[in-house]
Amino acid sequence: DTEVTQTPKHLVMGMTNKKSLKCEQHMGHRAMYWYKQKAKKPPELMFVYSYEKLSINESVPSRFSPECPNSSLLNLHLHALQPEDSALYLCASSQDSGDEQYFGPGTRLTVT
């Protein structure tokens, strides 16, 4: 099973709302990732968790807050977002560094 699941599939939120995106994998992978993807562009890395510890933060604004409760779960907490944060948010996982990454279907986020 090479499945990464993400919920919700779609999310519309106002600029004062607080919401969370969830990601889950049961492949025993030790690395999990959050990406942001704008239309017609490649994914941009936001965060990497390795062995449940934050390994990489690509200078992401603090209105995005990642959390890794356990080795299978990854959350992205959203607060006070801007309309330009509207995008497809992708979660991925890999066995370890350099290994192929498996992507979830994404959450389509719209900030109004």
Partner 1 sequence: AQSVTQPDIHITVSEGASLELRCNYSYGATPYLFWYVQSPGQGLQLLLKYFSGDTLVQGIKGFEAEFKRSQSSFNLRKPSVHWSDAAEYFCAVASPNSNDYKLSFGAGTTVTVRA
Calpha distance 101→71 (Å, rounded): 15
Query: Is 41 an interacting residue with respect to partner 1 (CB under 8 A)?
Result: yes
* Distance, first Cα to last Cα, the chain: 36
| Phi, psi for residue 25 in degrees, rounded to 5 | -140, 145
Q: Least separation, in Å, of the C-beta of 98 and partner 1?
A: 5
Give me the 72-91 binding string for partner 1, x by CB under 8 A, dash otherwise: ----------------x-x-
Only one of the segments 14-22, 50-58, 61-69, 73-81 lies at the binding site for partner 1 (rule: CB under 8 A); that segment is 50-58
Q: Least separation, in Å, of the C-beta of 75 and partner 1?
A: 17
Only one of the segments 12-20, 61-69, 71-79, 96-104 lies at the binding site for partner 1 (rule: CB under 8 A); that segment is 96-104
Pairing outcome for strands 102-103 and 87-94: antiparallel
Q: Which two tokens stand for residue 6?
A: 């993400």
Site residues (CB under 8 A) for partner 1?
4, 6, 31, 33, 40-43, 45, 48, 50, 55-56, 88, 90, 92, 94, 96-106, 108
